[in-house]
Structure 1
Amino acid sequence: MIGGEGLTRPVLAEIDRSLASHDLIKIRVFGDDRESRIAMYETICEDLDAAPIQHIGKLLVVWRPGPAVLKENRPQELGRLAPRGGAAPRTVTVKKPSAAPNRRPKRSQVTVLGNERVTAGGNVKRARVRPTSQKKKALD
């Protein structure tokens, strides 16, 4: 939110942090002057290298590509392939709540294979096989 003080350096820094973590954000501007909102919108986009998406009333929507989008467009380093999500064994940190309410949750490192998933309770299960439809079975 941009308050009565307007677009200050701390507000601009907070918008930058939000864009770094979320890519697409909404910014609410308090104030009735439409020209000042447009000026703030342009300033945010220019200073933070962001793209203006939408401006409806007092709501501004801004987008900036995050590190995941930028990594895909980067050439592969040292001729190695980029890791694909879910295909190779990966190590996951699981937090399970303690039996006593005043104790910290237990953390453990679990290795998850490509055909496994981690449940909401922190257990490792095999991934479910997707059922094929009767129409697709008839085509084969």
Structure 2
Amino acid sequence: MSLSQQQKKALRRIGHHLHPIVAVSEHGISEGLQNELERALNDHELIKVKLALPDREGRAAMLEQLLADSGAEAVQTIGKVALLYRANPQADPKLSNIQRFENHHGRR
């Protein structure tokens, strides 16, 4: 899945006011973290992840691992926060950040 620049722009607009709901520390990616990331992506589709690692190279490597493990795509990375997206056609409309935004703003 590769998002166009226009799709990324729309997702950044939706994700602007989101808060990180998954945090990755220097301890790495545990099974619990993977489970939480899966749950968050399934429920919300668009999430922010905080990469609490001191160096840029470590954050980039950790982000690449998270993307590979989850099948999500990075929409944007600013400092220690990454905006991730993975579509879920069966997402609960009350939990999906995408569907809630579209319903609230009269899209669809």
Counterpart of 2:39 (choices 4, 9, 17) is 17
The answer to which structure has the higher helix fraction is 2
How many residues were matched structurally?
A: 69
Q: Give per-residue Cα distances to partners, 1:49-79, cap 9 Å, x unaligned.
A: 111111110001110001248xxxxxxxxxx
4+ long deviations beyond 6 Å: none
Q: Which has the higher strand share?
A: 1
1:64-96 Cα shifts (integer Å, max 9, x gaps): 001248xxxxxxxxxxxxxxxxxxxxxxxxxxx
Structure 2: unaligned runs, 5 residues or longer: 1-22, 92-108
Displacement, 1:31?
A: 1.9
User: What is aligned with 1:45?
Assistant: 67
Please identify the structure whose Cα radius of gyration is greater. 1
* Residues in 2 aligned to 1:30 and 1:51: alpha-carbon distance in whole angstroms: 19
RMSD of aligned alpha carbons? 1.5
| Unaligned runs of at least 5 residues, structure 1 | 70-140
Shift of 1:6: 2.0
Letter of the aligned partner of 1:12 in structure 2? Q
Give me the identity figure in percent.
33
SS state of the match for residue 6, structure 1? coil
Identify the structure with bigger relative contact order (alpha carbons < 8 Å, sequence gap 6+).
2
d(CA) in 2 for partners of 1:4, 1:44: 14
What are the Cα deviations for residues 79-117 of structure 1, in whole angstroms up to 9, with x where unaligned? xxxxxxxxxxxxxxxxxxxxxxxxxxxxxxxxxxxxxxx
1:27 has 2:58 as partner: no
